[in-house]
């Protein structure tokens, strides 16, 4: 996850995978801007409609949050839901929501936002088909302000792990596709977007969890992986996404 790499990028760390960071050692600067060389821009502004796998994570995971995360050890971790339980009927999953969370516009997060988000997902029907195929209108119900039930039409014991996808991230109640940008709850707030060129974000100072170690994140799109590599090597970028394996090897040798 890019969020987890930001501190490393500003503190002199490096990643051994296909997201590479500059090798210069430095103390973290909480007012700094981290520059990211991303792959081709396939994001559609105003929602969680990113089509590119990598940029979906660059954008969605930073700005929006699901109820449940998949941790680096491939186990489920609390997100906007602190815990979840299978109810006595063997079908209903009850999610107990995190309190004192705010959207980027300052409005409070509650069960209404979860119900709205999943109503929208069912209406769109474009993604998350595995879980949506087990849900019907009214399957997601508000129990109280911070409790939501998911009751599939058929037993779905894997539902919690199926909603970890970025497309299952929660948006503000009442948000429509023509509202850009959607209000999220994540560690980064949307600032600006120029199609095919750049996207900029700033730290969410009111974030409920661990805040980013830097103040701003600027993403520049480079469809060609060699150009992304050159941006990293020349110092125009602090991180690069989706580099070929041989490119990351050459960085380690520099």
- How far apart (Å, rounded) are the C-alpha atoms in residues 71 and 6? 17
Per CATH, the number for 68-168 is 3.90.76.10
Per-residue pLDDT for 234 more than 50? yes
User: So what's the pLDDT on residue 30?
Assistant: 80
Query: In this predicted structure, what is the pLDDT of residue 59?
Result: 64
> Hey, is 85 helix, strand or coil?
strand
123-137, 146-160, 190-204, 215-229: range with highest mean pLDDT:
146-160
Q: Do 2-63+186-253 and 68-168 show the same overall fold?
A: no
Compute the residue count for the chain.
Answer: 254
Alpha helices in 77-224 (DSSP H): 111-124, 129-132, 159-162
Three-state DSSP state, 102: strand
The mean pLDDT of 70-79, rounded to a whole number, is 94
Residue spans per domain, the chain? 2-63+186-253, 68-168
**How confident is the model over 27-35, as a mean pLDDT?**
82
Rounded distance, CA 66 to CA 61, Å?
Answer: 9
d(CA 163, CA 166): 8
Residue 235, SS3 per DSSP: coil
Q: Higher pLDDT residue, 3 or 92? A: 92
The counts of H helices and E strands in the chain are 7, 12
Mean pLDDT of 203-215: 95
DSSP conformational letter for 166: G
In 10 A of CB 164, how many CB atoms?
A: 17
Q: Does domain 2-63+186-253 have CATH number 3.40.190.10?
A: yes
Tell me, what's the pLDDT at 35?
A: 96
């Amino acid at each position: 996850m890019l969020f987890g790499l930001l501190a490393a990028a500003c503190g002199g760390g490096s990643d051994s995978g296909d997201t590479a960071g500059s090798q210069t050692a430095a103390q973290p600067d909480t007012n700094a801007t981290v520059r990211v060389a991303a792959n081709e821009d396939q994001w559609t502004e105003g929602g969680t409609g990113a089509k590119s796998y990598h940029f979906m994570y660059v954008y969605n995971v930073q700005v929006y949050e699901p109820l449940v995360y998949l941790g680096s050890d491939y186990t489920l971790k609390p997100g906007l839901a602190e815990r979840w339980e299978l109810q006595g009927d063997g079908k209903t999953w009850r999610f107990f929501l995190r309190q004192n969370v705010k959207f980027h516009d300052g409005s409070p997060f509650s069960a209404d936002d979860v119900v709205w988000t999943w109503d929208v997902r069912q209406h769109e029907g474009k993604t998350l088909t595995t879980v949506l195929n087990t849900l019907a209108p009214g399957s997601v119900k508000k129990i109280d302000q911070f409790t939501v039930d998911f009751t599939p039409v058929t037993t779905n014991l894997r539902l919690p792990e199926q909603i970890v996808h970025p497309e299952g991230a929660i948006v503000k109640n009442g948000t429509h596709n023509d509202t850009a940008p959607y209000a999220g709850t994540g560690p980064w707030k949307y600032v600006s977007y120029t199609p095919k060129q750049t996207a900029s974000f700033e730290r969410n100072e009111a974030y409920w969890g661990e805040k980013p170690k830097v103040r701003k994140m600027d993403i520049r799109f480079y469809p060609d992986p060699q150009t992304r590599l050159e941006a990293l090597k020349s110092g125009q970028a602090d991180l690069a996404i989706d580099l070929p394996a041989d490119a990351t090897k050459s960085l380690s040798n520099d």
